[in-house]
Structure 1
Amino acid sequence: METGGMADEPRRLSDFLRTHRERILSDWVDAVRVLEPAKDLDQLVLLDSLPQFLDELADFLDDVRAGHPAKEPVNPHTIHALDRLEVGYDLTEVVEEYAILRRCIVELVHDEGAPAMRSAQLARLHAGIDSAIVTSTARYHQASERTLRALERISSTALTHGEAEAMLPELLKVLLETCASVDAASLLLLEGEVLRVHAAVGLGLEQSVGESVPVGHSLAGQVAQTRAPIAIRDAASDPMVTRESIRQAGLRGYYGVPMMLGEELVGVATIGSRHAAEFSEEDRLLFRTMSGRAAALIAKARLNAELARRNAELSAALDYRDRMLGILSHDLKNPLGVILASSHMLEKAALDDAQKRSLGRVTSAAGRIDRMIKDLLDYTRARMDRALPIARREVDLHEVCKQAMDELRLLNPRRVTRLDCEGPMSGRFDPDRVAQVMGNLVNNALRYGDPDAAIDVSLRRTSKGILLEVHNQGTPIPPELQPHLFEAFRRGPDAGGNGLGLGLYIVKQIVDAHGGSIAVRSTQAEGTTFSVLWPAS
């Protein structure tokens, strides 16, 4: 009598599967982890209904051997295919799992040298697995197509109804139209420690909108607390159902799922049936998938609503600020005009040196305030979609820029500024606005450029118009700041306490009003150059 080795091994393949069940499952888990969706799945989720399928596969082999009508192991692998669809497998990966199971069984039989290797049941094993693959493929395809159609309708509904409150009932109507066994559905959203019904359709449940359920109470509250689906077979009598509206609806099967967005609970979705005590796996899968999509759409709608609210508040605050700036700058013009007029009159009086210096400081400070007020007025005009006043006339930009440069030199006697111009530069421009552009650009160069280096201004005619360039040496403008230079109240990191950060913004507005363009380039080697192209006509 033989002992050990092959004699200890089952002679029938069905018995071999039962004896080595855990080894087969362990080998399969190790091998299947190479599939991308399987890498991070919990082992229980990964195994799913496979142990049950292996048991039914063994029973299937016994039935064939005994000559009984063979009942193929249909249900476990059907459920397995649907579960895999839910966790993100594609059809190829579902089929690959069965191929890996086949390989694990055959290799183990061969490695053990088992008599089962010669069993007539081996061919039946392949037939059983092939049948499982065919059935799983068909079921997966049907469920996938059905789910995709439902999700497409949900997305279309969400586009049509942007606000969450209008969108939710329409999402539930899609569910009722998609699942024939579903007679009623509700969406309860989490509000603190309670769930509130925000949408309900079917069997008169529309009247339940506004009802609340504490977390932990009733079926919906239990789903929220456990964050897991719950199904009951008789909603009319089950003590877990405490909402009177559900009891009166005469429901039998009742199913609730948590609506999750990542780790965050958004709410609970429920479905009920008057005729079925339980829902099919396909219906449950579809409902879970639709609930997940609904959770994302609700979160998006809420985010959009909050963003719109904040934008409205910001817009109102900016409008108020602009109105106040306009009023303030307008009301300051008159008293400032008195100060400037008085200082000009005093310049003609007989003053000693100390008095002249004091008067000079007053005049200089008043001039800076006057420029700030003009900048604020220009800013408020631009913000209120009112074009800056432009008075075009035939002028020579060379003369305009030369006069502006002379004034800048008087105000900055210790700095070197140079103007280079190639011939007359005639055209129809607003001379005051052109001088304002040049003044703002030169003042910007004086403020941020190297104090020991010259500021170079050039004018030259091109095929597209007249090019004004202001160049300075010094620390370059950071690349991330350059796209924002012409925004209002944008100031450089070394601006100090002077200025409002409106100079370059107003430059851009004036250039745009003339139909021109402005650009900047700034590097450590070449310095910083602002280029303004005034149109030729």
Structure 2
Amino acid sequence: MSTHQPVAGAGERRRLCDFIREQRELILAEWERAVRLIPYTRQLSHFRLLNHLPPLLDRMADLVEGVHTGAQGSLEEWPEIHALQRLDVGFDLEQVTHEYSLLRSSVLRLYGQYVGHQGERDVETLLREVERLNQTFDEAVAIAVARYSRARERTLVALERISEAALGSEDLDTFLERLLRVVLETTEAVDTVTLLLLEGDVLRARASVGLEQEVAAGFGLRVGEGLAGKVAAERRPLEVRSAATDPLVKSQVLRQRGTRALYGVPLIAGEEVIGVAQMGSITAFEFSNEDKLLFRAMVSRASALLVQTRLATREREAQETMRTHEELLRLVIEQSGDAIIVTDEQGVLRVFNAEAERQHGVTRQQVAAPEWTATYGLLNQEGQPLALEETALYRALQGETVTGARWKVRRPDGSELILNGTASPVLRSDGTSAGAVLSARDETERLGHEAEQSETLALLDSLLSTAPIGLAFVDRELRYVRVNRMLADINGRPVEKTLGRTVREVLPQYAELLEPLLRQVFEMGEPLRDRELAHPVAADGEKIHHYLLSFYPVRDTRDVVRWVGTVVVDITERQRTEEELRRTAEFRERFLGIVSHDLRNPLNAILLSANALMCSEDLSPRHLKPVRRIISSAERMARMIGELLDFTRGRLGGGIPVSPQHLNLRHLVRHAMDELDAGHPGRELRLEAAGNFEGDWDPDRLSQVIGNLGKNALDYSPEGTPVRLLLRDEDESVVLEVNNAGPPIPAELLPAIFEPFRRLARDSPHPASGLGLGLYIVAQIVQGHGGTISVRSNAEEGTTFTVRLPRTRGGPSPAP
């Protein structure tokens, strides 16, 4: 008998429907106490036990109320939800119906207690209400049984198909594709199924039916991101009703398909989330409870099968890796430069590789023959036969590890080799002997080389002691193995306190600089030259000396870098001389700049005055010629000063400045040709041009280039020959060529033709009156535009200067 009695109100009896609504919490508490006595319900939480029953009781109350109102209805989906949820947690049909029986008992018991306190007189209505309640419970049981049976049958069929899909699927990807097709064919209203597996903290699309492009694109989400990430993070199923518009959905493919319902379920193996399975539909906004239950059951089974398939795949890969390692080991042993000999615990040869056969001059079968060991065999270092118990392999079989053993072998052809090797016992996991292994190297050639090297080193020491520069050699540990007295004096350490010590120990203040350079030569095998270093010398009163360091690889006969040689040359005096020359040149060029600039003011006054005289009406004819001579000389001086200023800018100002603007180079060349024609009447100037010649250049500076090259071509060619100017369109650049048929420039002058203060030739028909800066300034202007200039000259085609200009300046200027 329950201790919780419903409180009866005064007046009429509460109807059964009202009683169920008002006392719903009491009914559920009564039912929970009764159902918790059944062992199989104890695994359910309070929420999972009761979460769907409140609305079910409300619906039952509505149906019982039909006794009074005459309304008809049904339970709709509530028994279905209850049955599917209980199936999901593993209840059988008897347990589901038992729960309904207990719920009915709880309602009737509590209502009976209430009616007994009220002293009910309208028995007929009461019985009709109870009858309707019983009918409602019978309907609920029938719906639950039908839905449970159908869902269980679908689930069993689906799980069987999933198990069949796993059979014979050794490859993980093949299994996943079969699995997803089973899911797609089994669940209703589903048109896409996708499996995302966890890789670190990212869910990566691994297989899909309907969304294959996501797998191809490597679609992935971090745990906690998007619907799948949230399913993995919260470890529970989640559903959205409109995936195409829901911000939780991150897949653009799902959005483009117009997906509506999207349901995600975590794949859990033990306590670990290994992935997420998603099913989607473009027709339904919500999946049925039966489809979701079925999908969860299939995903649960798939999780276990997926783990099994993964384990099988890893085991197969491990076996393949082991076979690969065995094959690699066999290849390493067979191709090793050392002799590898292995015996079993009985001393029987099991491995005798190609190098062992070469060293001994026999095969594995022959080396075991008695006649070989009697006639040839193994010798000690004095050439006497080795007893069996003295051999390194025999000692290893007795459990001894032998290192640095040296012996000889006499081969059938009579030759003898000196071998050096190591022998070790091979033990099983229980510590018992499984045999022995011997590794031996032929040292005959090496020992011969060492003898030769001893003689070479003696000669080297003699050379080092007499060299007038600092010389040293370091090994791979950067220890000094040879050093001459000159370098020892520079370092401030005697030779005997340098040999055997590292660079860091001898020169700690320069270790960070020198060590990377030495290691680079060891690794790359290429020399490093002309690295400057300033270093105080104690013998010179700690005066700073400047040195030029070079590092060279020293190779042995096998072309392996064994040492690095260091050459140290004292360049203190040379640097002092170069610095004086630099200061002198800088002073000269600054002086030229200042003089050129200051000369312009009086020169401009001379030109203005002379031009004023030329325009004067009072100028007599006998004074006209001297004035013209003044103007001509002043203009020539102005050009020379301009060249000096340009030279100064080029040398000291970082290059001749240019001010680009958009122009047509063909028009500029034509204008320059008109000016040249006016100064050289009677000479023929030809222009060839076809294409687009627009770009961004400085018109004044390019006029200077064209005028200088054109004037040189006219000055250094015979009167009756033409001067050709050619323009070429080369897409991103424009090429200008200036050609004349004069005598070729001497070949020895061509390399320095663009240097300042140079003249093209001494036998020009028009002797030059400039400073020899024209071509230098031309080259500087071209370089300022990011272009290049070159020259070719021979007797057949004359002399041609070629200027290549980019249409727009970009990047550093190349050197002319």
Same fold (TM over 0.5): yes
Q: Distance in 2 between matches of 1:336 and 1:370?
A: 22
- From 225, 228, 240, the counterpart of 1:232: 240
Cα separation, partners in 2 of 1:209 and 1:156, compared to 1, 3 Å? farther
Matches within 5 A, 1:40-439: 40-69=43-72, 71-112=73-114, 113-115=116-118, 118=123, 119-120=126-127, 121-202=129-210, 205=213, 208=216, 210-314=218-322, 327-329=341-343, 330=349, 369=397
Cα 1:337–1:89 shift into 2, 3 Å: farther
Give the structure with the higher percent helix.
1
Mark the CA change 1:368 to 1:283 in structure 2 (over 3 Å): closer, same or farther.
Answer: closer
Question: Which amino acid in the other structure matches residue 63 of structure 1?
Answer: G
Distance 1:114 1:288 in 2: 49
Give the CA deviation at 1:83.
0.7
**Partner letter of residue 237 of structure 1?**
T
State the alpha-carbon separation in 2 of the partners of residues 246 and 173 from structure 1: 18
| Greater CA drift, 55-64 or 34-43 | 34-43
- Is the alpha carbon distance of 1:30 and 1:336 closer, same or farther for their aligned partners in structure 2, counting shifts above 3 Å? farther
Question: C-alpha separation between the residues in 2 aligned to 1:247 and 1:276?
Answer: 15
> Is the contact between residue 237 and residue 247 of structure 1 (CA under 8 Å) also seen in structure 2?
yes
Give how far 1:137 is off.
0.2
Given that 1:181 and 1:273 are in contact with CA atoms closer than 8 Å, whether structure 2 keeps it comes out as yes
The runs of 5 or more residues in structure 2 that have no matched partner are 1-5, 334-339, 344-348, 353-363, 375-386, 401-426, 437-816
| Secondary structure, aligned partner of 2:205 | strand
- CA 1:10–1:297 in structure 2 vs 1: closer, same or farther (change >3 Å)? farther
Q: 1:116 to 1:274 in 2, by over 3 A?
A: farther
Query: C-alpha deviations, 1:248-286, integer Å up to 9, x for none?
Result: 122111221212223211111111111111111111111
CA distance in 1, matches of 2:112, 2:280: 51
Q: Does the C-alpha gap of structure 1 residues 187 and 226 become closer, same or farther in structure 2, counting only changes over 3 Å?
A: same
Is the contact between residue 184 and residue 190 of structure 2 (CA under 8 Å) also seen in structure 1? yes
CA contact (8 A) 1:74 1:132 kept: no
CA change 1:81–1:114 in 2 (3 A) is: farther
2-structure distance, mates of 1:44, 1:50:
10
Post-superposition Cα deviations, 1:44-88, rounded to whole Å, max 9, x if no partner, equal 01113112111111111112322112x122321111100111111
Task: Tell me, in whole angstroms, the C-alpha distance in 2 between the residues paired with 1:103 and 1:315.
Answer: 69
Distance 1:73 1:498, change over 3 A: closer
Q: Does the 8 A contact of 1:35 with 1:93 survive in 2?
A: no
Say which SS state the counterpart of residue 301 (structure 2) adopts.
helix
Deviation by residue 1:476-520 (Cα, 9 ceiling, x = unmatched): xxxxxxxxxxxx9475xxxxx775599xxxxxxxxxxxxxxxxxx
User: In structure 2, what residue type is equivalent to 1:220?
Assistant: A
Equivalent residue for 2:22, pick from 7, 19, 22: 19
The 8 Å contact of residues 193 and 279 in structure 2, kept in 1 or not, is answered as yes
CA distance in 2, matches of 1:498, 1:179: 61
Cα distance change, pair 159–115 in 1 and its aligned pair in 2 (3 A): farther
Task: Look up the equivalent residue of 2:151 and give its one-letter code.
Answer: A
Q: Normalized against structure 2, the TM-score is what?
A: 0.40
Cα distance in structure 1, aligned partners of 2:81 and 2:238: 18
Is the alpha carbon distance of 1:335 and 1:28 closer, same or farther for their aligned partners in structure 2, counting shifts above 3 Å? same
Change (3 A) 1:116 1:132: farther
| Higher mean displacement: 28-37 or 251-260 | 28-37
Q: CA offsets per residue over residues 110-147 of structure 1, 9 Å max, x none?
A: 44435598522112111111110011000111111111
- CA 1:208/1:37 → structure 2, altered by over 3 Å: closer, same or farther? farther
Partner of 1:351: none
- Match of 1:122, SS state, is helix
- 1 CA distance for matches of 2:119 and 2:317? 72
What is the distance in 2 between the residues matched to 1:322 and 1:84?
60
Could you tell me the percent identity over the aligned residues?
A: 39
CA pair 47-336 structure 1, distance change in 2 beyond 3 A:
farther
Counterpart in 1 of 2:672? none
Contact 1:336 1:370 in 2 (8 A): no
Alignment partners' CA distance in 2, 1:239 and 1:321: 56
Letter in 2 for 1:108: L
Amino acid paired to 1:92: E
Determine if contact 1:195/1:215 at 8 Å carries over to the other structure: yes
Between the aligned partners of 1:21 and 1:182, the Cα distance in structure 2 is 38
User: Which sits farther off after the overlay, 144-153 or 104-113?
Assistant: 104-113
Range moving further from structure 2, 199-208 or 279-288: 199-208
CA distance in 2, matches of 1:186, 1:243: 12
Contact 1:98 1:129 (8 Å CA) reproduced: yes
For residue 77 of structure 1, what is the amino acid of its counterpart? P
The gaps in structure 1 that reach 5 residues or longer are 342-358, 373-487, 492-496, 503-537
Matched-pair contact (CA < 8 Å) for 1:57–1:125? yes
CA deviation after TM superposition for structure 1 residue 213, in Å: 1.5
CA–CA distance in 2 between the matches of 1:95 and 1:245?
A: 45
Contact 2:214 2:253 in 1 (8 A): no
CA contact (8 A) 1:251 1:272 kept: yes
- Equivalent in the alignment of 1:463: none
Tell me, what secondary structure is at the counterpart of 2:167? helix
Query: Which amino acid in 1 is paired with 2:68?
Result: R
How many residues in Structure 1 have an aligned counterpart in Structure 2? 361
Cα distance change, pair 89–337 in 1 and its aligned pair in 2 (3 A): farther
Q: How far has the Cα of 1:204 moved from its partner?
A: 5.7
Offset, 1:318: 7.3
Q: Match for 1:328: what amino acid?
A: V
TM-score, scaled relative to structure 1: 0.59
1:277 aligns to what SS in structure 2? coil
Greater strand proportion: 2
Q: Which one-letter code corresponds to 2:36 in the other structure? A: R
Describe the superposition over 1:5-52 as per-residue Cα deviations: whole angstroms up to 9, x where unpaired.
755595321222223221221122222224443111111011131121
Structure 2 CA distance, aligned partners of 1:185 and 1:304?
A: 24
Would the alpha carbon gap of residues 191 and 367 (structure 1) be closer, same or farther in structure 2, given more than 3 Å must change? closer
Partners of 2:205 and 2:215 within 8 A in 1:
no
Q: CA deviation at 1:369?
A: 4.8
Q: Distance in 2 between matches of 1:173 and 1:367?
A: 65
